[in-house]
Amino acid sequence: MAHSIEATQAISFDRKSYDDQTLLNIYESLIMPRRIEEKMLILLRQGKISKWFSGWGQEAISIGAVNALHEEEYILPMHRNLGIFTGRGLPLERLFAQFQGKKSGFTKGRDRSFHFGTNEFHIVGMISHLGPQMAIADGIGLAHQLSKENKVTLVFTGDGASSEGDFHEGLNVAAVWNLPVIFVVEHNGYGLSTPSEEQFAFKYFTEKGPGYGMEAVRVDGNNVLDVYHTIKTLAEDIRKNPRPVLVEAITFRMRGHEEASGTKYVPKSLMETWSLKDPVDNYEKYLEEIGVLSAGVKEKLNKKVKAAINKGLEIAFAEEAILANTEEELNDIYAPYHQIVIPPSKNTSEKRFVDAISDGLKQSMEKYPNLVLMGQDIGTYGGVFKVTEGFVDVFGKERVRNTPLCESAIIGTALGLSIKGYKAMVEMQFADFVTCGFNQIVNNLAKIHYRWGQQADVVVRMPTGAGVAAGPFHSQSNEAWFFHTPGLKIVYPSNPVDAKGLLNAAIEDPNPYLFFEHKALYRSITDQVPEDYYTVEIGKAKLAKNGNTLSIITYGMGVHWALKATSELDIEADILDLRTLLPWDKEAVKATVQKTGKVIFLQEDCLTGGIGAEIVAWISENCFEWLDAPVMREGSLDTPVPFSPNLEKNFLPTDRFREKLKTLAAY
């Protein structure tokens, strides 16, 4: 079988005009990850570490890259880029503590090996999911573009991961927006056991770059000087003439995907040829041949590196095992933030729901010059619901950004902006399409603060809900998908005044939000909305109606259904509008249960596994002694949202809710 990765010739080094000291610095940098890995493989055999992803034979790529960039330029490494971490000078004892899940590691024991970032060292590490890091690099690049910092961002991917949609989305956005990002593909022949020819049908990634309208260059990934020189030259040029570039580094994975999985499936001949191209041995030999590395200096540098590793390991091993502290674990879910509520002014004007949202967004744009809006057709067109109509004229195209059709990349870009201190609002054209950005929300936005203390200052606006005869893919209620994910906040207003104040509040808070806006409310309800900027307290429910006979707990459209039903049936009920779904207001729920003793939860979402399931369970456990009737719940049928109005009416809970309401009132 002809493998797409061929090692046809030995490495031919060219020192260009680099002086001896530069060559020696690169040597010292290059032997560090190799010597660490030698040690790790021993520790693995001794059962002192649990898992190891090897970068053996690929070190030249990380080391060439890390030495080519400025220290304050971000790098987004993957699982075979130990050299990025050592090259950036992370204290080895902290790096080893990270590997061992110790407290002084970069994630306080919460994530493993290379899955962390550190702003101090300008590194954003991977999550396990392959692909989403490309868009984060786009976001950092966009921040550099917006603030006119002449900086380069460099992101790694494996060749296997390039089959993920996120690879395509990330490169496409970078190309369309001309972002100063270097995408390095480590073309090492395999993705786990799958060889490149079963992964893609082209031979070289240099064929792919031009397809995106992007320059692409190929380097010998085992030749540290080739990688260094190419990336250094590119970076110098990109700082002056910002643009994305794809760099394909040809190399080979010399060990198993991870140590336990072995390399049985790799033809022996490939291993043999590639072992002749070892990046460390060859560079060492080259330096000796040209008289730059003497035996004495070689010994001295290796001793120095080994001593540093041993010292780092000694400190890390001496650190006691982590002790769990539940309070600390829960506290670190969100970035620290204390909301100071800004009360509304007396000046009001009549506004529709959609206008109140637009008004809040506009005032937030004025208040926060670092707020960037992104979404499909939100520019000159004003968005499909016209929330951002006229915004481009006021705030410009840089801050009101029309995006390509790529939810995942745009949410990832928003996170990248946040890493650079920006705020971002992403408009989903319809809440349904969030499925295409799901991974970025639940795995990146939601977990990043808990993992390494990075805030995700992003609000995702979600035009949601049924009742508009729009069928299964433009009508879904999907708040419960996110309700179950620690690290997110979810807001779902039911009226114009709350919508404006809650949106402003969500944008103020540096934590990630899903902000649900019911499409059927956009133009159907109006209210006297305060003119000036104000905020509504996050996490606080509000009584939409006061009554003594029973409690209806609900949110969004449910509030309107409850108001209508109680008035038509003449039931004096408490109607509690949750407003924030995560974190939800336990005190207010408890208070209304204590007051009436009879509760029904109403949601537009399908019944099974919805928000009501959680709250009703909590009431049963925590308010049992105040209950005078079974806790009830009503929601939509457990089917997709049907298109035909009669079917949709039957799907929605309104009629069934009225019946249950009567039963509960009579109980």
Ligand X SMILES: Cc1ncc(C[n+]2csc(CCOP(=O)(O)OP(=O)(O)O)c2C)c(N)n1
Question: Which part of the chain contacts ligand X (CB under 6 A), choosing from 96-104, 154-162, 214-222, 404-412?
Answer: 154-162
**Residue 130 binds ligand X, judged by CB under 6 A:** yes
Q: How far is the CB of 5 from ligand X (least distance, A)?
A: 11
Catalytic residue among 79, 257, 474, 560: 474
Residues in Cβ contact with 245 at an 8 Å cutoff, skipping those fewer than 6 apart:
181, 182, 183, 209, 214, 215, 216, 217, 234, 238
Cα–Cα separations (whole angstroms), residue 505 to 47, 359, 453, 455, 515: 50, 13, 21, 16, 11
**Residue 500 binds ligand X, judged by CB under 6 A:** no
Cα–Cα separations (whole angstroms), residue 247 to 114, 231, 266, 592: 22, 8, 25, 61
**Residue 161 binds ligand X, judged by CB under 6 A:** yes
SS3 (DSSP) at 457: coil
Reference 73, options 234, 213, 280, 205; nearest CA is 234
Nearer to ligand X, 114 or 533 (CB): 114
Nearer to ligand X, 42 or 192 (CB): 192
State which of residues 192, 260, 276, 394 lies at the interface with ligand X (CB under 6 A).
192
**Residue 112 binds ligand X, judged by CB under 6 A:** no
**Residue 463 binds ligand X, judged by CB under 6 A:** no
Looking at beta carbons, which residue is closest to ligand X? 158
State which of residues 37, 159, 479, 527 lies at the interface with ligand X (CB under 6 A).
159
Both structure tokens of 313: 């390991």
| Pair 419, 140: CB distance under 8 Å | yes
Q: How far is the CB of 273 from ligand X (least distance, A)?
A: 18
Q: Which residues on adjacent β-strands are paired with residue 423? A: 371
**Residue 160 binds ligand X, judged by CB under 6 A:** yes
Reference 183, options 199, 200, 206; nearest CA is 206
CB atoms within 10 A of CB 337: 12
State which of residues 158, 256, 379, 653 lies at the interface with ligand X (CB under 6 A).
158
| Pair 584, 539: CB distance under 8 Å | yes
Question: Which part of the chain contacts ligand X (CB under 6 A), choosing from 21-29, 182-190, 226-234, 288-296?
Answer: 182-190
Both structure tokens of 637: 């049928």
Nearer to ligand X, 188 or 455 (CB): 188
Name the amino acid, one letter, at 11.
I
Question: Which part of the chain contacts ligand X (CB under 6 A), choosing from 32-40, 127-135, 235-243, 376-384?
Answer: 127-135
Nearer to ligand X, 117 or 379 (CB): 117
Nearer to ligand X, 255 or 560 (CB): 255
Q: How far is the CB of 202 from ligand X (least distance, A)?
A: 15
Q: Is 129 labeled as catalytic in the residue annotation?
A: no
Both structure tokens of 424: 């971002």
Cα–Cα separations (whole angstroms), residue 368 to 146, 191, 532, 533: 14, 43, 15, 12
Q: How far is the CB of 196 from ligand X (least distance, A)?
A: 8
Site string for ligand X, 15-44 (x = CB under 6 A): ------------------------------
**Residue 129 binds ligand X, judged by CB under 6 A:** yes
**Residue 253 binds ligand X, judged by CB under 6 A:** yes
Q: How far is the CB of 105 from ligand X (least distance, A)?
A: 21
| Pair 85, 95: CB distance under 8 Å | yes
Q: How far is the CB of 182 from ligand X (least distance, A)?
A: 17
Both structure tokens of 84: 């990025």
Q: Is the C-alpha dihedral spanning 459, 388, 475, 535 positive or negative?
A: positive
Question: Which part of the chain contacts ligand X (CB under 6 A), choosing from 65-73, 152-160, 566-574, 658-666?
Answer: 152-160
Q: How far is the CB of 448 from ligand X (least distance, A)?
A: 17
- Cα–Cα distance for residue pair 283/273, rounded to 1 Å: 17
Q: Which residues bind ligand X (CB under 6 A)?
A: 80, 128-130, 158-161, 164, 186, 188, 190-192, 253, 257
Q: Which residues are catalytic?
A: 474
